[in-house]
Amino acid sequence: MNSKSANYYMSVEQLSNLAGSDIQGLVPILDWDENEYSFAILDCFEQSLRKSQRLLFVIDEQVELLTTEGIILSQHARPDTRFVTGFQEGPVKEALTGLSPLRALLTVASGTMRNGKLSLIDNEGKTHTRAGLRELMPISGKAVVLITPQGLRGYDQALDDLTAHIRTSGGTPLTAGNLYRMIDHACVDYVAKPTIEIHQEETAFDTATNLIDSYLSIVRMNEYGIIHDLDTEFLHDYRIALRKIRSILSLFKGVYDIDQAHQLKIRFSALMTPTGPLRDLDVYLLEQESFYSLVPHTMHSGLDAMFSLMRSRRTDEQARLAIHLKIGRYKKEIKALTKLFSKKRKLKPGPNSSRTSYDFACELIWKRYRKICRLAATINVATPDQEIHQLRIECKKLRYPMEFFSAVFPQEPFDSLLKSLKRLQDSLGLFNDCVVQQINLQAFVDDLNDEQHQLEITQSIGSLITILYQRQSAEREKITNAFVRFSSDRMQRSFRTLFQSRKEF
Amino acid sequence: MQIVACYSNKGGVGKTATAVNLAYAFATSGRRTLLCDLDPQGASGFYFRVKPSKKLTEARFFEDVEHFTKSIRGSDYDNLDILPANMSFRDFDVFLSKMKDARSRLKKALKAVKGDYDIVLLDCPPNISILSENIFRAADAVVTPVIPTTLSQRTFEQLLEFFREHDLPMEKIHAFFSMIQGTKTLHGEMIVELTHNYPKRIMAAKIPFASEIERMGVVRAPVLATAPDSPAGKAYQALFDELLERIVP
C-alpha cells in the first residue's frame, strides 16, 4: 500500500542527477508517460494556499489539491470556475472551506505537464520504493518537477533512502519552500497586512515614512486586480491602504511639516474619492444573500430588480475606475507620491519628527483611549446615532496606531487589548452598517427615475429599511454594554500599564 | 475483509497461478489485497519478485502480530501486498497440532491485518491437514482448480468428503477447470461429467493450458498484468468476474 509522505520539488537537472546513480544498491529507473496535459496552478492573490502549504492544480478538467499531508484530492471542475464557491460539491471544495470566498483563484503558472515515475529496483527487478513525478513546463518561467515519494509496505528503509537522496539532490519540501518563486523569480508575495519592523528608538518621522511607503506599495500591487476586475478584495485592500496612509498623516501630528501634511492629506483623499461608488456597490452585491433572507419571499422580486440595477451600475463604475487608474494623471500622481516616501528627501520634518516611536506611540494610544473612555461615559440608550458614529471613528483612531506600533510593545498584553478593541469595533461596525444602509437604500430609492419595477423596488427597500432599523436598535444596547467593559477599571489599568506607566491617569 | 483460499489437495494444478492472477485482479478492481503465500515452496512470492522472509517462523505467524505484519511486502502493483513464504512454513502442521484451539489459529492470526485489507488471498500447500482445516474454517471461499482428469476428479471428491466429515459448509467450495487441453477428448468428457455431478460447486470459467501461464515463471508477473488480452488472460478475468459474483454479498 502507498503510505502518506511529503511532496518535494526540484529542477529538471536535479532530477536527472538524482536518477543518475544507484541509491543504496538499488537502481533508479525513470519512466515518463507519453501523454501531456495542460495544467494551471491556482492560488489567491495573497497566496493563501501556498502559505497553508497546499497546491491547487487544474489539469485538463480536473481540479487537484495536494494537501499538507501529501494526499491528493481531486474532483471535476468547470474551466471557468474563478472562486472556490463556484466549485461543485466534492473533496477539493470541502478541503478549501477555509479559503476566502471573496478571493478569486488566479493562475500562478500554466503550461503543459507530464506524469512519470521514479522506481528503485533490486537485482531481481522488484521495486522497493517509488516516487510519483510531475514535470511542469510553464509557458513562461522555469520547468520544475514535483516528486511524491511513495513507500511500499515492508520496504521502509528504501523509502527513507530515497527521501534522503531527494533532499541531498536539492529537493525542497513543498511545505517549506516557495515553488511559485522557483517557477518565476518575479512572483510577488502579497501581504495585505504587512508586519513592519519598528524599533523603539526609531524616530517618529522614520516610522511614519516607512509605514506610508509600505502601504503605498500595497496600493500599487492592487491596481492590476481592480483594473481587470479580478475580485472585489483588490479594491477593498487598495482603499484600506489609502485610509491607513491618511490616518498616519492625521495621527502623527507634527511629524511632518504642517503644510506638507495638509497637502498630502488632500492628495491622498483625492485618490480615494473615485473608488467610493464602486466599493459601495460591491458591498451591497456581496450582501445580496443576507438581504434576501431579511425580507419575506413576496418582496424578493423587488430585490431582484434592485440588484440587477446595481449590477449594471457596477459594470459602469468598474469601467470608469479602471480607466481612471490607467490614465496618465493618476499614474503620475501615484508615482510622485511613491517616490516622495521612498526617497524621503523632499519630505519636510515637523516639530515632533525626531521623537522616538515608542514615546510617540505611548502618548498617541493613551490619548486616544482616554478620549474613548470620556465619550463612553456619556452614552446610553438615548444617545443620538451621530454620537455613536463619532465613537466609532474614535475607535478607528485608536485601532490604527495600535496596529502600526504593535511591534514595539510586549505581544501578549498588547494583543489582548487589541482583541477587546476589535470586539467593540465589530459591534459598532454592525450598528453603523445598519444606519448607513438605511440612508443609502433610501437614497437609492430617491434616485430612481422612472426605472422599470420602480414600485416593486421601493416596496422591497421599504421593508428592508424597517428590518435594518430593528437591528440597529438591538445593536445599540450591545454597544452600551461593550463600552462599559472597554472603559472598565481593569481595562484602564491594562492600558495604563502598557502605555502610561510613568504618568498619572 | 474477505478471505479467499486457493486450494487443491493435489499439486501441479495451477493453484499458484490462480492465486497470483486473482490477487492481481482483486487489487486492480480497487480492493486492498494481501496475498499470503502459505506454500513453503514460496512460488507466489517468486512471481512477484519478493524475496522469501527469513524472519517469519511459524510461531511468529500465529502468535506475534507485529512480526507477521512486518513481514508483509508491497508488490509493484497498487493495492497489492504479499506475505512471502518461508521454508519453515512446512512445519505449520506440527506446530499447529501442539497448539490449543489449533483449528481457528489462522483466522485469529489474520485478524491482525483486518483493517488493512479488503481481501486476503491464501495460496495454500497441496495437502489435507490441520493447516488445511484451518484454512477451510478461516476462508469465506475456497477456490479449487481441477484438471479434468480421473485423478483430479478423485482428489476433488476427497475434498468434498473432507468437508462433509468435518461438518464444513460445502458452499465455500468454488471449483473450476484448470489446464484444459482442447485436443484431449478425455478433458471434454470429464468436464461434462463433473459439471453434471456438482453443478453448484463448479464454476463456468475455464482456464486453458497456455504458454502465457507457463511463462509467468520467466516474466515473473501475473498473466493479467503482462498479457490481459491473451486467451489465458481473458480466462483469468472471467474467473475473477464469476468468483466476485459468487462471493460478494
Measure in Å the smallest separation between the Cα of A67 and chain B Cα atoms.
21
Residue A27 distance to chain B (closest CA, Å):
15
Please write the tens of the pLDDT for every residue from A415-431: 888 888 998 898 888 88
pLDDT at A61: 86
3-class secondary structure, A62: strand
At B89 the pLDDT is 61
> From the list B32, B48, B73, which residue is nearest A155 (CB)?
B73
Contact across the interface for A1 and B79, Cβ inside 8 Å: yes
Q: Does position B97 have pLDDT exceeding 70, yes or no? A: no
| The total number of structural domains that make up chain B | 1
Q: Kindly state whether A1 is in contact with chain B, defined as any CB-CB distance less than 8 angstroms.
A: yes
| Mean pLDDT calculated for residue range A5-14 | 89
- Secondary structure (DSSP) of A91-130: HHHHHTTTS-TTS--EEEEEEEEEEEEEEEE-TTS-EEEE
Q: Which of A113-117, A220-224, A449-453 has the lowest mean pLDDT?
A: A449-453
Is residue B101 over pLDDT 70? no
Task: Please name the residue ranges forming H helices in A202-257.
Answer: 204-227, 232-251
Among candidates B48, B73, B220 on the partner chain, residue whose Cβ is nearest the Cβ of A153:
B73
A125 → closest Cβ in B71, B78, B220: B220
- Are B49 and A126 in contact (CB < 8 Å)? yes
Residue B249 lies in a domain: no
Residues of A in contact with B73 (CB under 8 A): 152-155
Chain A residue numbers touching B27 (CB-CB < 8 A) = none
Residue B27: closest CA among chain A residues belongs to which residue? A1
Report pLDDT for A191: 81
Q: How many CB pairs under 8 A join A and B?
A: 36
In A, which residues are within 8 Å of B70 by CB distance? 154
pLDDT range class, residue A90, cuts 50, 70, 90 = very high
pLDDT, mean of residues A95-105: 93
Its pTM stands at: 0.76
What pLDDT band is residue B115 in, cutting at 50, 70 and 90? confident
Does residue B161 sit at the A interface (CB-CB below 8 Å)? Answer: no
pLDDT band at A408 (very low <50, low <70, confident <90, very high): confident
Which pLDDT score is estimated for A443? 86
| pLDDT tens, residue by residue, B161-204 | 999 999 999 999 999 999 999 788 888 899 999 999 999 999 99
Q: Tell me if chain A has a CB within 8 Å of the CB of B49.
A: yes
Residue B120 included in any domain:
yes
CA atoms of B53 and A488, how far apart (whole Å): 74
Angle at A62 between CA A61 and CA A66, to 5 degrees: 150
Separation between Cα atoms, residue A247 and residue A399, nearest integer Å: 10
Residue A503 has pLDDT above 50, yes or no: no
pLDDT score recorded for residue A78: 82
The Cα of B105 is separated from the nearest Cα of chain A by a number of Å equal to 24
Residues contacting B170, CB < 8 A, separation 6+: B160, B163, B164, B201
Residue of A nearest to B73 (CA): A154
For residue B94, what pLDDT is reported? 59
Which of B49, B79, B81 is closest, CB to CB, to A125?
A: B49
* Interval B14-29 mean pLDDT: 95
Q: Does the pLDDT of residue B51 top 70, yes or no?
A: yes
Nearest CA in chain A to B82: A153
Share of chain A above pLDDT 70, in %: 98
If one counts every other C-beta atom within 10 angstroms of the C-beta of residue B10, the result is: 20
User: pLDDT band at A504, cuts 50/70/90?
Assistant: very low
Digit-coded pLDDT (tens) for A287-302: 888 889 888 888 888 8
User: Closest approach of chain B CAs to the CA of A129, in angstroms?
Assistant: 9
Q: Which residue has the higher pLDDT, A332 or A81?
A: A332
Q: How confident is the model at residue B55 (pLDDT cuts 50, 70, 90)?
A: low
Residue in chain B nearest A153 by alpha carbon: B74
CB of A127 within 8 Å of a chain B CB? The answer is yes
Q: Do A127 and B220 touch (CB under 8 A)?
A: no
Q: Can you give the CATH number for the domain in which B231 is found?
A: 3.40.50.300
Q: Does A154 touch chain B (CB under 8 A)?
A: yes
For residue A141, what is the DSSP state?
Answer: S
Give the least confident one: A25-34, A267-276, B122-131: B122-131
Which comes out higher in pLDDT, residue A186 or B63? A186
pLDDT surpassing 70 at residue B103: no
Residue A129 pLDDT class (50, 70, 90 cuts): very high
Mutation site for B-interface testing, chosen from A31, A118, A124, A153 by largest number of B Cβ within 10 Å: A153
Whether residue A124 lies within 8 A of chain B, CB to CB, comes out as: yes
Other Cβ atoms within 10 Å of B30 Cβ, number: 10
A1, B51: Cβ pair inside 8 Å?
A: no
Q: Choosing among B47, B55, B75, B218, which should be mutated to test the A contact, i.e. which has the most A CBs within 10 A?
A: B75
Nearest to A48 by CA among A7, A95, A110: A95
Measured between beta carbons, which residues in chain A are less than 8 angstroms from residue B72?
153-154
Q: Which residues of chain A neighbour B113 with C-beta distances below 8 Å? A: none
CA distance B46 to chain A (A): 10
- Mean pLDDT over residues A163-182, rounded? 90
Class of domain A357-505: mainly alpha
Per CATH, A191-355 and A357-505 having the same topology is answered yes
Average model confidence (pLDDT) for chain A?
89
* Pairing assessment for the beta strands B119-123 and B2-6 based on DSSP bridges: parallel
Nearest Cα residue in chain A from B46: A124
Domain A191-355 matching CATH 1.40.20.10: the answer reads yes
- Domain residue extents for chain A: 8-183, 191-355, 357-505
Mean pLDDT of all residues in A349-377: 89
Q: 3-class secondary structure for chain B? A: CEEEEECCCCCCCCHHHHHHHHHHHHHHCCCCEEEEECCCCCHHHHHCCCCCCCCCCHHHHHHCHHHHHHCCEECCCCCEEEECCCHHHHHHHHHHHHCCCHHHHHHHHHHHHCCCCCEEEEECCCCCCHHHHHHHHHCCEEEEEECCCHHHHHHHHHHHHHHHHCCCCHHHEEEEEEEECCCCHHHHHHHHHHHHHCCCCEEEEEEECCHHHHCHHHHCCCHHHHCCCCHHHHHHHHHHHHHHHHHCC
Residue A71 has pLDDT above 90, yes or no: no
Q: Which residues pair with A410 in a beta bridge?
A: none
Q: Is the pLDDT of residue A406 over 90?
A: no
Question: CA-nearest residue of chain B to A119?
Answer: B76
Would B196 be classed as within a structural domain? yes
User: At B63, is the pLDDT very low, low, confident or very high (cuts 50, 70, 90)?
Assistant: low
Residue A505: the pLDDT is 35
CATH hierarchy code of domain A8-183 = 2.40.320
Instruction: Kindly state whether residue B14 falls inside one of the protein's structural domains.
Output: yes
Query: Which whole number is the average pLDDT over A77-96?
Result: 90
Nearest CA in chain B to A127: B76
Residue B76 contacts A, CB cutoff 8 Å: yes
pLDDT at B143 over 80: yes
DSSP per-residue letters across A157-204: HHHHHHHHHHHHTT-EETTTS-HHHHH-TT-----SS------TTSBH
Residue type, B168: L
Q: With bands split at pLDDT 50, 70 and 90, how would you rate the model's confidence at B64?
A: low
Q: Determine contact: B81 vs chain A, CB below 8 A.
A: yes
Q: Do A154 and B116 touch (CB under 8 A)?
A: no
Contacts of B51 in chain A (CB under 8 A): 124, 126
Nearest to A154 among B74, B79, B116 (CB): B74
Q: Give B-chain residues touching A1 at CB under 8 angstroms.
A: 32, 74, 79, 81, 116
Cβ atoms within 10 Å of A44's Cβ, excluding its own: 24
Look up the domain containing B158 and give its range. Answer: 2-244
Residue A88 pLDDT more than 60? yes
Contacts of A2 in chain B (CB under 8 A): 78
Q: Do A125 and B74 touch (CB under 8 A)?
A: no
**Contact (CB<8Å) B73/A124:** no
Confidence class for position A2, pLDDT limits 50, 70, 90: very low
CA distance B160 to B173: 8
A123 touching chain B per CB within 8 A: no
Any chain A CB within 8 A of the CB of B50?
yes
Confidence band of B29 (pLDDT split at 50, 70, 90): very high
Residue A152 pLDDT class (50, 70, 90 cuts): very high
